Amino acid sequence: MYAKTQEFAEREQALAQFAKLLSHPARLAIIQLLAERQECIVGDIAQEFPFLSRTTVSQHLQELKNAQIIKGEIEGVKICYCLNEGVLSTMEEYFSTFFQTLKNRKTCC
């Protein structure tokens, strides 16, 4: 693991963790699917990606849930997932601030 990550501000640590989660195309696709559908049952999510095993989809869902990017509720024998709007709003603010800083940079050399 990387040394001294705890020395950085909470914002940088959260942004880095979020960027790490977004670094896999399956997780990006799952987030986009949930954004389009508002909510989705795990079996429906797996059917959208027939090239991935159901176990792989479940692992990606678990990573997103552990990071609180998505929420899951048990409905009988099914689990229904949706986006966690609070976490996404925070990450949107963090990314927006980050990219605004880059946009406002002064040229050098």
Tokens of 75: 């409905």
pLDDT at 1: 52
pLDDT at 72: 87
pLDDT at 39: 77
Can you list the residues of the chain whose pLDDT is less than 70? 1-3
Q: Compute the Cα dihedral for 43, 84, 30, 57 and give only its sign.
A: negative
Say whether 39 sits in a helix, a strand or coil. coil
What CATH fold (topology level) applies to the domain 10-98? Arc Repressor Mutant, subunit A (1.10.10)
pLDDT at 62: 92
